[in-house]
Amino acid sequence: MLTIKLQHHFEGFRLDVDFTAPPGLTVLFGSSGSGKTSIINAVAGLLRPDVGKVVLAGSTLLDTRTGVYVPPHQRQIGYVFQEGRLFPHLSVAGNLTFGQKSEDPVAMSRIVDLLGISHLLERQPNTLSGGEKQRVAIGRALISKPSLLLADEPLAALDEARKSEILPYFERLRDEIATPIVYVSHSATEVARLATSVVALENGRVIGQGPAMDLLADSSVAPMGIRSVGAVIEGRVGEHCPDGLSELRAGGERLYVPKVAQKVGETIRVRIPAHEVLLAIDEPHAISALNVFKGTVRGLQPTEDRGVVVTLETSAGLILSRVTERSASSLGLQLGATCFAIVKTVAIAPEDVGG
């Protein structure tokens, strides 16, 4: 458990937050300038706030009231930056073990296997791709057996292909290591796929906290704008189809998505942006869309752009649709009404599907 209370004045900006990050992977979610990096810098000891208290697993790292300040190198915290920041004169193996007082072959082997970098150990940093550099940087942060791992937008400097390469490794870290992770992001995709818990930030303040499914479904808490609003469906891989699709089973429903790497039976998350979902009052027939879900209207939330976010309760889970006021009116949408959500498979981005 990580407890954070911070107040700090910058020129033209004031940070004032008070929240708790539970075990698992907590995403600090917000736009640039919302205070995300300042928060993890204070946790790491790289920023000394005007007023604050940071407690990790019962150990006080910072308390300005009592004068407690544990230096960064004594906090047992791993930090992954936007860029790998590897030492250019050392091999990958040398980067992984740099600064370690004693080697732990078992821990080294586990981390190398977890991150899939065994074939890179003798390589120099200048021969690695961006994604490979980030995996090595993650390994270096973990090799010291930290009590907490901080990741400051670790995918921001990568192109889409490299982001897709790295995301599964963070999923594995979340599921297979006991180390809690605080992960900074402005990407709804990363929130949906990775977060155990989300802290939404805006202008230096917490505007919402909770599971990814709840935060991304609330248009009143949308730090990255209305287009980040959507549903997160959990399902199991039912089968891989020969036409390049995968069939997921979610609450008795079938959801077709672009083919995934997960094996049959594995659980994955799917983010469905609200603006990609069509609605119909009558059950549609003879249409190209493969995914049609019958549901009950449980929410009608007006938005600032004269739209309405409609929340449907379906047997697959909550599905959201963003429509215009005119569409909501012409359909006669009201709480408790029966409605059909239509989701084209090609509207589900491959990066929005994962563990």
Question: How do residues 3-54 score in pLDDT, each as one tens digit?
Answer: 999 999 999 999 999 999 999 999 999 999 999 999 999 999 999 999 999 9
Q: What are phi and psi of 46, to 5 degrees?
A: -85, -15
Q: Is the pTM of this model over 0.85?
A: yes
Angle at 199 between CA 195 and CA 203, to 5 degrees: 140
CA-wise closest residue to 246 among 262, 267, 269: 262
User: Do residue 17 and residue 154 come from a single domain?
Assistant: yes
How far apart, in whole angstroms, are the C-alpha atoms of residue 79 and residue 66?
26
Cα 196 to Cα 215: distance, rounded to the nearest angstrom: 12
Assess whether pLDDT exceeds 70 at residue 256: yes
Same domain? For 137 and 278 the reply is no
The pLDDT tens digits for 149-159 are: 999 999 988 88
**Cα separation, 54 vs 250, whole angstroms:** 39
Query: Is residue 225 situated within a structural domain?
Result: no
Q: Residue 249: what residue type?
A: R
Same domain, 158 and 257: no
Q: pLDDT-derived band of residue 213, with 50, 70 and 90 as boundaries? A: confident
In total, how many domains does the chain have? 2
For residues 237 and 155, state if they share a domain.
Answer: no
Final residue belonging to a domain, choices 198, 220, 242: 220
Task: Of 102-111, 163-172, 194-203, 230-239, give the lowest mean pLDDT range.
Answer: 102-111
Q: Do 182 and 105 sit in the same domain of this protein?
A: yes
Residue 327 banded pLDDT, cuts 50, 70, 90: very high
Query: Which two three-digit tokens encode residue 282?
Result: 């009558």
Report the CATH number that the domain containing residue 317 is assigned in CATH. 2.40.50.100
Tokens (6 digits) for 91: 């091999």
Residues 54 and 168 in one domain: yes
- Please check whether residue 125 is in contact with residue 95, taking contact to mean a CB–CB distance below 8 angstroms: yes
CATH code, domain with 69: 3.40.50.300
Q: Are residues 280 and 216 in the same domain?
A: no
Query: Is 164 found in the same domain as 61?
Result: yes
Nearest to 355 by CA among 196, 176, 171: 171
| Structural domain contains residue 62 | yes
When pLDDT is averaged across residues 193-197 and rounded to a whole number, the result is 94
Distance CA 288, CA 91 (A): 52
Task: Tell me: pLDDT of 83 over 90.
Answer: no
pLDDT: which is higher, 48 or 108: 48
Is 272 inside a domain boundary?
Answer: yes
Q: Does residue 77 surpass a pLDDT of 90? A: yes
pLDDT at 220: 78
Same domain, 205 and 282: no
Last residue of a domain, one of 186, 220, 254: 220
Query: What pLDDT shows up at residue 346?
Result: 93
My answer on whether 190 and 249 are in the same domain is: no
| Mean model confidence pLDDT for the chain | 92
Give 219-249 pLDDT, tens digit per residue: 777 777 788 899 999 999 999 999 999 999 9
Residue 206 has pLDDT above 90, yes or no: yes
Mean pLDDT (whole number) for 153-171: 88
Using pLDDT thresholds of 50, 70 and 90, give the confidence band for residue 101.
low
More confident residue, 164 or 295: 295
pLDDT digits (tens, 9 = 90+) for 344-353: 999 998 889 9
State the pLDDT confidence band at 102, using cuts at 50, 70 and 90: low
Which domain covers residue 346, as residue numbers? 231-354
Residue-level pLDDT at 144: 83
Strand order in the sheet with 253-258: 253-258, 245-250, 230-240, 267-273, 353-354
> CA gyration radius for the chain?
22
* DSSP SS3 for 9: strand
pLDDT > 90: percent of the chain: 77
Question: Pick the residue with more confidence: 355 or 30?
Answer: 30
Based on the fold, state whether residues 189 and 292 are members of the same structural domain: no
Does residue 226 lie in a domain region? no
**Mean of pLDDT values over 258-278:** 94
**Burial of 119: CB neighbours in 10 Å, binned 0-12, 13-18, 19+:** exposed
Query: What's the average model confidence in pLDDT over 90-97?
Result: 91
Does one domain contain both 130 and 250? no
pLDDT at position 99, please?
Answer: 66
> 213 or 152, which is more confident?
152
Domain edge (last residue) among 201, 220, 239 = 220
